[in-house]
Amino acid sequence: MTLHQDINPSITPLGRGAQSNAAGRFERHHRHYEGDGWQAPEDDQVLRTRTSMERPRRMISYNRSPDLPFDRSINPYRGCEHGCIYCFARPTHAWLGMSAGLDFETRLIARRDAHEVLEKELRHRAYTPQPIAIGTNTDPYQPIEKTHEITRNCLKVLDKYNHPVAIVTKGALIERDLDILSGMAKRGLVRVGISITTLDPDLSRRLEPRAPAPKRRLAIIRALTKAGVPVRIMTSPIIPGLTDHEIEALLQAGQRAGAQAASWIMLRLPLEVSKLFQEWLRQQYPDRAAKVMTLVREMHNGQDYSSQWGHRMRGSGPYARMIALRFSTAARRLGLDQPQPALRTDLFKAPKSAGDQLSLFEMV
């Protein structure tokens, strides 16, 4: 393995998805590692995760994408230690002057005091509640959440305000927050999507090196369902020539674990992700690399990716239509083709805090 740019080539990137660390697309200069001749201690020969802190000015991000079922989201962290090689969010690290490769999974940013910023936004007099999505960019339950508890603190705020939330995760740490989620579920304020890409533990370890194993994720579905939290299994992404044969098995496993609904997204390779994924594919599955990329390009008019709305999530052409038909047929047979219940917005209310003026009726 050859590590590019500013990573010491003698360091072993154990448990990492990316194979390189090319400079971000906005950088004017490229960095190259030059050793000083000193032998690093053995303990420093492993590429370790570093976390820095950021106080955000805003937490709620709004979008107008017709491809998405929500118009707002929050992201507690930048970067993701799970290291999923296919992650479409990798290019966002370029905005921070870092690489979409190894930097994305080793140089993380925790958004300190996020819950305070979120609460301030919810209290704004012009705010109108609609479901907030958490986990649409990076996983809110990645390993560093155990230390920082930013996701949990944000959930406490949403719970206090009776604000609806939809969570997407691979992380087993969500079970820690069942004390909050179960109560919100009783009020129709939460639903969760658990992403499972494959049932093959070896393939999962290579694709998503620091995410929970497939069996563990099925256990998460069972735990959430037992606690009364509505769950859907997300067979995402479907990787042509690598995981596409598992569609029916994934849906059946999810249904048996208690999932009430299902969804899917095709592999997406925007910007730097294409090069990183192909680099990984050639190393891990050289015998399948050509087939996988041929099918990917077939769905995007010969390109690695198309960002066109209505196309980017599923692709087009005969192969994409076949996958869509297989998924819909299996989901219907298993009873997973029903939409999850709508989240309630009518319960939202900003609780009184110190210094708030009482209304005339509250004074009587």
pLDDT digits (tens, 9 = 90+) for 194-229: 999 999 999 999 999 999 999 999 999 999 999 999
Please tell me the distance from the alpha carbon of residue 135 to that of residue 61, in angstroms, as a whole number: 12
Sign of the dihedral through C-alpha 189, 119, 173, 19: positive
Crossing angle of helices 178-186 and 150-160, rounded to 10°: 30
At 344 the pLDDT is 98
Centroid of chain to Cα 113 = 21
Residue 1, pLDDT > 80, answer: no
What are the angstrom distances between the C-alpha of 176 and each of 214, 223, 227, 270? 19, 11, 12, 33
Peptide bond into 237 cis (omega under 30): yes
At 339 the pLDDT is 87
Over residues 268-279, the mean pLDDT reads 97
Query: What pTM did the predictor assign?
Result: 0.92
Backbone φ, ψ for residue 206 (5° rounding): -80, -40
pLDDT in tens, 138-179: 999 999 999 999 999 999 999 999 999 999 999 999 999 999
Q: Which CATH architecture has domain 50-262?
A: Alpha-Beta Barrel (3.20)
What are the angstrom distances between the C-alpha of 51 and each of 22, 54, 147? 20, 10, 11
| Lowest-confidence pick of 4-13, 17-26, 270-279, 343-352 | 4-13
The closest alpha carbon to 217, from 241, 235, 190, belongs to 235
- Where is pLDDT greater, at 30 or 70? 70
